[in-house]
Structure formats: C-alpha cells, structure tokens
Amino acid sequence: MTNRLCFLFAGLAAAPLAILAQGSAAAPENPISDSEKRVYAMLSSVVIAAAEKMPEESYAFKPTPEVRSFGQLVGHLADSNYFFCSAAAGEPKPVSDAEKSKTKKADLVAALKDAVTYCNKTYAGMTDAKGSQLMKMMNLDMAKLTVLAGNFAHNYEHYGNMVTYMRIRGIVPPTSEKGGSSGQN
C-alpha cells in the first residue's frame, strides 16, 4: 500500500500541470443564477409530472376538509410562480387565479405549465449581478435571487404535499419512480 501511494504521488508530481488543469472546467460567468435555473428546471419538471400523473377524479381529493384539494395545490403553485417570478423580474404579476377559478385537470395543468414558462423566462434573464439587487418582498429587503430561491422552496414544499396526496391515493410520485431524481419521496 505504501509503495502504491509513493508511485501515485511521484506520478502526480511528474505530470505536467496542463494535464491536471484539463480536469477542471472554467467557472461559469454566473454560477449562482445558473445553479438556480438548473434547480428550478428540475423541480418544476417533477411538479408538472405530478400534476399530469394524478388522475382527474383525484383532483378534488383532500386528505382532510381543512386543506387544499390536489387541484387547488396545482392552481396555487401556478399562481405563486407568477407572484415570485414577476416580483423578481420587476414586472406586474400576470393575471392568474387558477387556485380559485379552475377545477378541471387539463385547465390546471395548462395554468401550471404557463406559469413555469413565465418563470423560465425570469430565470433565463437573471444574472448574478441582477440577482444581487435588493427589492422589497414581504416588507423586507431581499436580493432577487433570494426571492427566486423562495419560489423554489415554496414549490418544493407543495411538491411534498402532492407526494403525500399521491401516496394516499396509491400513486407513485415522479421522484419515486424507477429512474426518478431521488427515489426517496
């Protein structure tokens, strides 16, 4: 073992620095905002997949009377994506009242997809410099990227609700399917 380590270190010491440098990629210009874009893309895809996978007849399902139905969760996510992303973009919130005005699966999935498309534009236009700009949100000064991180956290919170509703109905959620992103939900 000791001899192997000696050969390894001797080999590394003799290797030209150019060869070692090939393994490390150049840092992206906007590492923080680019990371947010990738994370949002992953999460929004599983939220949409859950909305698509739940059968129409389960859209009215509520585990208890005090909570939102599955369909209301989908509508709420559509509405809140517009809220967070328009705020971060500095734009007026697009008109959306999907949680209260839509009940059919097709309408709710379409509203969610439209909201994600809108948010994708916000994430695509964000840079680390723009993301560090402060704005008012909930009476606090927040960086725009923090607002987008809040959108991500809110989506993840309600994806967890969606997973629970799906499990109660005997449906495997997207992240638990074979080949899903985590297999843990």
What are the tens digits of pLDDT across the range 93-110?
A: 999 999 999 999 999 999
Please provide residue 97's backbone torsions phi and psi, each rounded to the nearest 5 degrees. Answer: -140, 45
What CA–CA distance (Å, rounded) separates 90 from 71? Answer: 29
Q: Write down the pLDDT at residue 28.
A: 81
What CA–CA distance (Å, rounded) separates 173 from 185? Answer: 7
Mean pLDDT rounded to a whole number for the chain? 87
Q: What is the mean pLDDT of residues 151-165?
A: 97
Q: State the amino acid at position 104 in one-letter form.
A: K
Handedness of CA 101, 105, 110, 115 (dihedral sign): positive
Q: What domains lie within the chain, and their CATH numbers?
A: 29-172 (1.20.120.450)
Q: What pTM, to 2 d.p., does this model score?
A: 0.81
What CA–CA distance (Å, rounded) separates 132 from 38? Answer: 18
Q: Write down the pLDDT at residue 5.
A: 37
CA distances from 126 to 57, 94, 135 (A): 39, 19, 14
The pair of three-digit structure tokens given for residue 92, joined into one six-digit string: 């007026």
What CA–CA distance (Å, rounded) separates 146 from 133? Answer: 10
What are the tens digits of pLDDT across the range 131-157?
A: 999 999 999 999 999 999 999 999 999
